[in-house]
A = this chain, B = another copy of it.
Amino acid sequence: MALLKAVKAPHETRTRILDAAEELFMQHGFEGTSMRLLTGRAGVNLAAVNYHFGSKDALIEAVFRRRLDPMNAGRLAALERLEKEAAGRALAPEAIIRAFIGESLRMIEDTRGGGRNFIRLLGRTYTEPAKPIRVLIGQLYAPVMERYKAALERALPQMPRDELVWRMHFMFGTLSYTLAATDTVQLIAGVKPEDRYDARLLEERLSVFLAAGLDAPLKSTVKKAA
């Protein structure tokens, strides 16, 4: 029957390539990772990437889709769960923030499944110069961002729309930089190594920091400097 076909390791080669790509793209970037290095690490033939994915660019897209689609679905689900529980009452901004960042942070504890590799790769990619990748990321994120923007607008009805959009940018920047750069460019000494991958602690620190920034009182007048 159709149900029984391909029992063992249905897409093993595909998966091995995706896993190796995740790790190597994170370490060396897209252009810095050659097909020979990648296929060597994955233990597959050089031609396997082009056979299974078509091209290197298509592989990059597949790497993102594999993780980002469920992650963003999780973000939407978390927000809806939150709104259901609230049953019409206003949501606390910090709860919305936690729903958004929690999904990323939980992946950073996943050392086995390679989720951490992906999260750090993702953080890198927000500032990626290559245009097709930027467009892809933008497309994959657009629905989530719209949804969270709407939720925050309801949670902070008194805040001007302009200001809220900027603060969302700030929040998003903090998250992506924290995920991507804390263990690469060590600009500020003093982070305890054991705290670096403690997702629970990081979620606490981030959400407290971000919630305060998001709720910061507006200065009604821009003070004029001398």
| A→B interface (CB under 8 Å) | 26-29, 31-32, 123-124, 126-130, 134, 137-138, 141-142, 145-146, 149, 161-163, 165-170, 172-178, 180-182, 184-192, 195, 200-201, 204-206, 208-219, 222
Contact = CB atoms under 8 A, between A and B. Distances in A.
Given A149-B190, A170-B177, A173-B176, 6 more contacts: A127-B127, A166-B191, A169-B188, A176-B177, A177-B177, A204-B219
Given A126-B181, A205-B166, A172 B145 contact: no
A106 to B, nearest CB: 12
A126, A161, A210 — most chain B CB neighbours (10 Å):
A126
A129 B124 contact: yes
What is the total number of copies of this protein in its complex?
2
B173 A177 contact: yes
A34 B101 CA distance: 37
Q: A-B pairs with the 7 shortest C-beta distances?
A: A173-B177, A212-B216, A213-B213, A31-B31, A165-B190, A29-B129, A209-B213
